[in-house]
Amino acid sequence: MQNQDTLQRLKTIDGHLRGIIRMVEDDAYCIDVIKQVQAVQAALNKVSEAILKDHLSSCVTTAIRGEDPNERARVLEEITDVFATSQKN
């Protein structure tokens, strides 16, 4: 994902989140708020997936093809940690 596209998506999510804050401040119907929160979560997941895809195709690929076994181990550990953390949520 290109940096500009990522920023635009995050700004859109930010606007959406601000709308949710207003909904809570205005005591909107709980289910409506939950639906909007779920939409933001889904949008954040898409951004995260796109960033991860770019990382795998650039940084991780470079490290795996490289000569430094410590760097290979480091990037693989990072990926493992990302997946482990996502499973906890």
Q: What predicted TM-score, i.e. pTM, was given to this entire model?
A: 0.82
* Measured CA distances, 88 to 10, 29, 39, 47, 81 (Å): 23, 29, 20, 19, 11
pLDDT at 1: 54
pLDDT tens digits for the chain (89 residues)? 578 999 999 999 999 999 999 999 999 999 999 999 999 999 999 999 999 999 999 988 999 899 999 999 999 999 999 888 888 86
Say whether domain 3-88 belongs to CATH 3.40.50.11740: no
Cβ-based neighbours of 6, under 8 Å, separated by 6 or more: 47, 50, 51
DSSP 8-state class, residue 25: H
